[in-house]
Structure 1
Amino acid sequence: MSGLILLMIAAAAAFAFWSASRAAAERAGRIGRQACRAAGVQWLDQTVHAAGLRLRRGDDGRLGFERSFRFEYSEDGVERHVGRLVLRGDTLVSFSGPVRAADTLPH
């Protein structure tokens, strides 16, 4: 009986981890897509790729997962560039990739 309970707990924990991972990947995809759209560049492959997972303490001192993702974009349709972002929980903590072109000032 206790073996079944342990199996159920392990299955619930695995499902919770998988669900949180999918939610983070979807959020990372939205962030990458929006950054590419704002910068006027092409988001390639229409996806993000998980690049890392580690335990980190949040601002409140509690342990949580920090997930790293990468995506690719192109400014000219020929060359590929790599963007990276890091989510701690649901919070974006690091981003490198396309940026919105600065407005040019008239001379």
Structure 2
Amino acid sequence: MPSLILLMIAGMAAYGYWNAARAAAERAGELGRNACAAAGVIWLDQTVHAAGLRLCRHESGWLGFERTFRFEYSYDGIERHVGRLVLRGDTLVSFVGPVRPNVVPFGEN
């Protein structure tokens, strides 16, 4: 009987980890898509890819996961560029990717 309880606990832990990973991937996809739309670039492949996972301490003091995702975008539809974002829980803590161009016409200051 104790082995069945341990098996159930392990199954619940695995489901909790999988569910949190899916939620983080969906949040990362939303953030990547929004960043590409705001910068006026093309979000390629319509997905993010998990690139890293590590333990970290959240601001609340609890241990949790910090997940790194990568995505690809293009300015012209030909060249591919890689963006990267890091989520701590569901909070964005780092972003490297497309930015809105800041063009100042020549002669204006």
Q: TM-score, normalised by structure 2?
A: 0.93
Structure 1 distance, partners of 2:12, 2:48, is 26
Residue equivalent to 2:92? 92
Superposed structure 1 runs of 4+ greater than 4 Å apart? none
Q: Distance in 1 between matches of 2:20 and 2:103?
A: 38
Aligned to 1:14: 14
For residues 44-93 of structure 1, give each alpha carbon's deviation from its aligned partner in whole angstroms, at most 9, with x where no partner exists. Answer: 00000000000001122211000000000000111000000000001000
* Residue equivalent to 1:23: 23
Question: What amino acid maps onto 2:24 in structure 1?
Answer: A
Aligned: 1:52 with 2:37? no
Residue in structure 2 matched with residue 75 of structure 1 by the alignment: 75
CA distance in 1, matches of 2:16, 2:23: 11
Q: Distance in 1 between matches of 2:84 and 2:104?
A: 27
Q: Aligned pairs, how many?
A: 107
C-alpha displacement of 1:104: 3.6
Measured on the aligned residues, the alpha-carbon RMSD in Å equals 1.2
In structure 2, the residue corresponding to 1:30 is in which secondary structure? helix
TM-score, normalised by the number of residues in structure 1: 0.95
User: Which amino acid counterpart does residue 35 of structure 2 have in structure 1?
Assistant: A
* Identity across the alignment (%): 72
1:16-50 residue CA offsets vs partner (Å, 9 max, x unmatched) = 00000000000000000000000000000000000
Report the secondary structure of 1:44's partner residue.
Answer: strand
Residue 41 of structure 2 corresponds to which residue in structure 1? 41
Shift of 1:103: 5.8
- Give unmatched runs, 5+ long, in structure 2: none
Q: Which amino acid aligns with 1:40?
A: G
